[in-house]
Structure 1
Amino acid sequence: MKRFIQSSLAGFALLVTCNASRPHEPRQDTAAAVKVVEAFPRLHFNNPVDLTHANDGTDRLFVLEHEGTIRVFENAATTGASKEFLNIKKLVSYGGEAGLLGIAFHPDYKRNGYFFLNYTTKVSGKLETAIVRYQVSGKDPNRADPATATVLFTFDQPYDNHNGGAVKFGKDGYLYISTGDGGSWGDPSNNGQNKSAWLGKILRVDVNSKTKGNYGIPADNPFAGNKEEFREEVYAYGLRNPWRISFDETTNTLWAGDVGQNKREEIDIIVKGGNYGWRLKESVDCYNPKSDCGTEGLIDPVLDLPQANGEHSITGGYVYRGKAVPALEGKYVFGDYVSGRLFALETRDGKAIQNSVIAEGVGQISAFGTDQSNELYICNYTTGKIMKLARP
């Protein structure tokens, strides 16, 4: 998962970075400020790392617990209990950043009952990431059938950190998967720039095809057909640890929050075939080499966040398309696990216009999620609470 760092950050200034990549003067936008409140006061989860809905008309919510369980519950503030949808603790290798990391429901889930998980597991003592399809029980819509597990693919994780972990469907019907660079420090194997590696990438696969076993390669993937030199699953590359990605419900733009090394964090808009620079660059700075890193063809982040301002482990969010806080409409809302700050980024034509701190002290923000009405929720890893946005 992310670098879960315990830190006291009192005294750091509010951060705002805008207009392309470089930092500008701090600002707190009171017009867009929000209240962050408990969404389900009677519920508690064990280290929640993802939240989503099945888009099946029921408006139920599903929460992933890091150790290996999925819980389902009714989307109502008065909900008093959740049910265990699936328990795969025996399969999941859990600890540090490893564990059950991401969930995505098939666009046609209402008919086929398929959903997809991203988790780390150990085979003969060796850590690997598994992308696995499951199916809901035919008898109980609030229970998945563990016997339906179908592995799409696995790949080795050389270290237990920087696993990425997100899985999301685009409107094209394809499954997008975020992978970290494999961990350790400074991407020692240069996985981010290696187009034949699984790691440091956004992958895209066709789960409705079986041309590669239990999945297929979209015909317009940037390296489709180039089997000997590059990995066909690669959609974009040059990423360090894109822990959370999301699609804008309106524009289908793919956003990623990429966790930095030791100086900078970044927010990216992901495009097909894009190279986002790691390990040549850490956000806007040269990293390896430290100078003259050759920036031609590299895509700069939409937003650069210096760690000196307090942000040390960025958590990618969503473009807000709900109705509870109209001032946030169309803005990319994201947070930071360490500083506990919540931000709203305004863009135009893919360029940053203004980034504003809209809440402080939100806690250890591990993930964001949305319901069927596109309202935004926040997972607090340590307290186990699910929060939501409200007007001040």
Structure 2
Amino acid sequence: MRGSIDSVWKVTACAALGLAGQLAHALDGVVVAAGLNQPLYLTAPTGDSRQFIVEKGGLVKILSGGTVQSSPFLDLSAKVATGGEQGLLGLAFDPGFASNGRLYVNYIDAATNNTVVERYTLASGAQTVNTASAQRIISITQEPYQNHKAGWIAFRPGDSSNLYIATGDGGSGNDPQNNAQNTSSLLGKMLRLNVSGTGEGYAIPTDNPFVGQAGVRPELWALGLRNPWRNSFDRQTGDLWIADVGQGAREEINLELAGDPGGHNYGWRLREGSIATPGVGGSAPGLTDPVFEYTRDVGQSITGGYVYRGPSIEGADGRYFYGDFVANRLFSFALGSDGKPTDLREETAAVLDGTGLEGIASLGEDGLGRLYVVGINGTVVTLVPEPGTWALALAGLAAVAWRRRRQLAYGAA
């Protein structure tokens, strides 16, 4: 993906206006949870029918059969800082969770304000995680600001050893310490750590791109990120999608295809998207262009998402879905044969209208590949097929009554 600036697919105000004319396709949204306390993420172990919802304040709750269980699966509220963009920010289940019970969290520590990644183990037969099982993987010193903490963590499909960790630049404007370009800092980066051991700490994967290079931390997988908020692996291909929140002009998505050896520099603080950052920006050799970017007339804070690989929904299969937190808009696109985004669609009306969801904080993918939209206001919506012939049978009923029927039917499924 190391192309020229001309290869970047840009979304302008005119393109945004043209979204309204896109042909409708077979998507709908159903509320599966409401009343949560600032949910930030949703995930699940592969094959698990439940959904695990991360709340900013430090709780992980289980949604099962349309009901949020009363007892939290994991309670870290006593150790999590919650000011600004701090909080419990990430959750990843070990690929072998079904047999080893291991899971990982990323949070801002209330005692130190550091980013902390820990491993916990669910005891066999237990319904909740004992916090005494904590093993510290890494603690990353943070800047004294409360923003740009990122926090996503995940395993690439087919790789049970290496945990990817997204870190923001530490906060404030223009990355004042130049952390994102500083190869001796772990901030503003994508990290890759081998966590296959049984104790605390981690090992360096021998195939990390900067291993053995003087002045470069070997944990680094990629650099030049501002606040990579909600990234994902395509569960079918292993491609890595990195959504990076912009500062004042551009929101961007970066794409690393499966098999990419890593080592990309995505440009921050030199660049925001494909343009120089005013006052501090410029260029440097080898910067990697975003595969996609949009301007502030479309949205102001990108929330990265997923390529849909769940139960077949006409018009959704294989498309990348993402949102914007400030604009509360949901979009999707496909990748063309040339590897560039094509067929941009706005999905807001089809999926979110009438649900009450506000502030798209995350998209989520459960263990069966179904997609969810998580609102900071406590509402979670799942993508489902539009009703099709059901609409004829329900003609004449109020839209609100119909949607309630769908919610009940989904919750009982």
Please indicate the TM-score interval, normalised by the length of the shorter structure. Answer: 0.7 to 0.9
Any conservation in 1 of the 2:174–2:280 contact (CA below 8 Å)? no
User: In 1, distance between residues paired with 2:70 and 2:363?
Assistant: 19
How far apart are residue 210 of structure 1 and its match? 7.3
Cα 1:299/1:71, change in 2 over 3 Å: same
Q: Which residue of 1 aligns with 2:133?
A: 148
Q: Which structure shows the bigger proportion of residues in strand conformation?
A: 1
Q: Structure 1: which 5+ residue stretches go unaligned?
A: 1-17
Q: Which residue of 2 aligns with 1:31?
A: 24
Q: Which residue of 2 aligns with 1:90?
A: 78
Q: Deviations over 1:24-55 (max 9, x none)?
A: 52332333473222024xx5311111111122
Q: Which residue of 2 aligns with 1:108?
A: 96
Q: Which structure shows the bigger proportion of residues in helix conformation?
A: 2
Q: Which residue of 1 aligns with 2:155?
A: 169
SS in 2 for 1:328: coil
Residue 255 of structure 2: which of 250, 258, 269 is its match?
269
Determine whether 1:233 maps to 2:219: yes
Larger displacement relative to structure 2 (354-363 or 271-280)? 354-363
User: In 1, distance between residues paired with 2:133 and 2:198?
Assistant: 17
Cα 1:207/1:229, change in 2 over 3 Å: same
- Give the total of aligned pairs: 362
User: In 2, distance between residues paired with 1:389 and 1:22?
Assistant: 26
Q: Deviations over 1:344-372 (max 9, x none)?
A: 02113432223221214552111111122
Matches within 5 A, 1:348-363: 348=336, 349-360=338-349, 362-363=357-358
Residue 50 of structure 2: which of 32, 54, 60 is its match?
60
Letter matched to residue 367 of structure 2: Q
Any conservation in 2 of the 1:115–1:135 contact (CA below 8 Å)? yes
Q: Structure 2: which 5+ residue stretches go unaligned?
A: 1-5, 387-413
User: In 1, distance between residues paired with 2:53 and 2:92?
Assistant: 11
Q: Which residue of 1 aligns with 2:239?
A: 253
How far apart are residue 21 of structure 1 and its match? 2.9
Letter matched to residue 344 of structure 2: N
Q: Which residue of 1 aligns with 2:379?
A: 385
Cα 1:324/1:81, change in 2 over 3 Å: farther
Determine whether 1:347 maps to 2:335: yes
Q: Deviations over 1:208-234 (max 9, x none)?
A: 1479x62111111011234x5111111
Any conservation in 2 of the 1:164–1:242 contact (CA below 8 Å)? yes
Cα 1:232/1:99, change in 2 over 3 Å: same
User: In 2, distance between residues paired with 1:242 and 1:80?
Assistant: 29
Q: Which residue of 1 aligns with 2:359?
A: 364
User: In 2, distance between residues paired with 1:345 and 1:88?
Assistant: 37
**TM-score, normalising length: structure 1:** 0.87
SS in 2 for 1:111: helix
Letter matched to residue 274 of structure 2: V
Which stretches of structure 1, 4 residues or more, deviate above 6 A after TM superposition? none
Letter matched to residue 110 of structure 1: A
How far apart are residue 321 of structure 1 and its match? 0.8
Determine whether 1:194 maps to 2:194: no
SS in 2 for 1:266: strand
User: In 2, distance between residues paired with 1:186 and 1:165?
Assistant: 20
Letter matched to residue 45 of structure 1: L
Larger displacement relative to structure 2 (154-163 or 131-140)? 131-140
Letter matched to residue 298 of structure 1: L
User: In 2, distance between residues paired with 1:80 and 1:305?
Assistant: 36
Any conservation in 1 of the 2:331–2:346 contact (CA below 8 Å)? yes
How far apart are residue 139 of structure 1 and its match? 4.1
SS in 2 for 1:110: helix
User: In 1, distance between residues paired with 2:26 and 2:288?
Assistant: 31
SS in 2 for 1:181: coil
Any conservation in 2 of the 1:280–1:289 contact (CA below 8 Å)? no
Cα 1:47/1:312, change in 2 over 3 Å: same
User: In 2, distance between residues paired with 1:232 and 1:192?
Assistant: 15
Find the structure with the greater CA-based Rg.
2
User: In 2, distance between residues paired with 1:379 and 1:19?
Assistant: 32
SS in 1 for 2:99: helix
